Amino acid sequence: MYEIYCKLRDEKGVKDADVVRATGITKSTFSSWKNGKYTPKNEKLQKIANYFGVSLEYLRTGNVPDFIYSDDNVDFLIEVQRCSKDTEFVNRMKKYMSLLTNDKKSVDDINVKGKKVLVRCDFNVPLQDGKITDENRLVAALPTIKKLIADGGKVILCSHLGKPKGEPKPELSLAPVAKRLSELLGQEVKFAADPEVVGPNAKAAVAEMKDGDVILLENTRYRAEETKNGDEFSKELASLCDVFVNDAFGTAHRAHCSNVGVTKYVDTAVVGYLMQKEIDFLGNAVNNPERPFVAILGGAKVSSKISVINNLLDKVDTLIIGGGMSYTFSKAMGGHIGTSLCEDDYLQYALDMMKKAEDKGVKLLLPLDNRIGDNFSNDCNIQVVKRGEIPDGWEGMDIGPETEKLFGDAVKDAKTVVWNGPMGCFEMPNFAHGTEAVAKALAETDATTIIGGGDSAAAVNILGYGDKMTHISTGGGASLEFLEGKELPGVAAANDK
């Protein structure tokens, strides 16, 4: 271990004396370690080993082990960075630590009085005959918008809606959103109906704005460059404003003009309240959870959650796997799964993850039984069988009653629970039992419960448990990538504090 330390110390240009000073250990303790008497129980010596292990792994792979998530260790890293002569390493690590500690400027850190503020919202709402059928995303955006109005900003809202694929489509216009926002805010939200988004209507409306006024631009995805993060459209958006606010977590995992590109041309870029809430809940859950920490993963495919499983096994106390992805694990263990969903290419991966859980001391819970059907229909014939005993011509559609109890008991004493993916085909009432049982168990626990967007969010809301959860993420794909430990472009683009 000391030899590894010496190699990394020299690579980073850090002196022994600097490390001793930064960690606060005595020279005699350091010498005893130097002489081969290294004891992992000595926390400060462990910090030395951890620090240099982190530095090497981050520079090589971009990944940082769990150790960094402790406040003490972040302080320690800062101290050692002061000693380091490796400027590139220091800058990269500072940036990474800023992301991990969610240290981004928000609307509370800026003065917008008299300034033009471009706000990227998530107004991707369902429309039917020009009417909004679910306005939750509009309501979620109101706190940030009201804050900016109250502070005297000139508020310019923008968002995408659907997938117009780079051309104007009247049925995907944001005009109905402007109308409904006007009603919700109690003041006019002027709609700039430019097919090119930043056109004469938008420019004229912005030029005439008074403090506290609000306008809404047309669907940003009317422009083909939007999803390609093109410079021209990014510059056009930036030309409208003095300050940029990103409050659209649902697109934070994408680098588009309206959430990332624009920040290259605006000095002040911060996050809104909705974005901050997402970062706080998901960030704390993954990086600094109150334990016991339980993660529940469901959904159809193992392949879509490979990185999530791998990353969470380094963090959780218990990992629960249900839904369609569980049949790949069942088959990997030699079980018979009939015509159930299965990814044969990931059978070895499933076994590898089970071994990793065992090595890490993580409790990995898989279904004990399943509700199965003889065809993919709510009205099919149904029976309950033990895991791995699904007959030919039948497929797994939900977890069974024994599993419901197993999973429910696992979250009873948890302090933090993250759930991403349903336990079965919850859209069919006969196969919603497992998902509802898990939702009910979460509703009855005292834990911080975080629902990772997408189908999970839809399930808890449809089943009537939405108001019982601590936090329901507004971004399915973004929350999944957050759980993978990935850097989200939309978050990274905001100014650090």
What pLDDT does 254 receive? Answer: 93
Span 320-349, mean pLDDT? 96
Residue 178 has pLDDT above 60, yes or no: yes
Give the residue with greater pLDDT, 405 vs 483: 405
Q: What percent of the chain has pLDDT over 70?
A: 79
Confidence of residue 366 (pLDDT cuts 50, 70, 90): very high
203-233, pLDDT tens digit by residue? 999 999 999 999 999 999 999 999 999 999 9
Instruction: Write the pLDDT tens digit of every residue in 78-92.
Output: 444 444 444 554 454
- Tell me: the pLDDT tens digits for 389-416? 999 999 999 999 999 999 999 999 999 9
Annotated catalytic residue 137: yes
The tokens for 65 are 């082990």
Q: Which residues, in sequence order, are CB contacts of 411 under 8 Å at separation 6+?
A: 294, 296, 417, 438, 441, 442, 445, 447
Q: Check residue 288 and give its pLDDT.
A: 75
Catalytic residue among 105, 228, 301, 415: 301
**Terminal alpha carbon distance of the chain:** 36
Q: Is 169 a catalytic residue?
A: no
Q: Is 453 a catalytic residue?
A: no
Query: Which residues contact residue 334 at a Cβ distance below 8 angstroms, ignoring those fewer than 6 apart?
Result: 388
Measured distance CA(476)–CA(421) in Å, rounded: 10
Q: Which of 261, 434, 454, 490 is catalytic?
A: 454
| Residue 182 burial class via C-beta count within 10 angstroms: exposed 0-12, middle 13-18, buried 19 and up | middle
What is the torsion angle, in degrees rounded to the nearest 10, for the CA atoms of residue 280, residue 283, residue 288 and residue 292? Answer: 100
Residue 156: closest CA among 104, 186, 123, 119: 119
Q: Is 291 noted as a catalytic residue in this protein?
A: no
Average pLDDT over residues 313-322: 94
Share of the chain above pLDDT 90, in %: 63
**Which one, of 427, 435, 374, lies nearest residue 407 by Cα?**
435
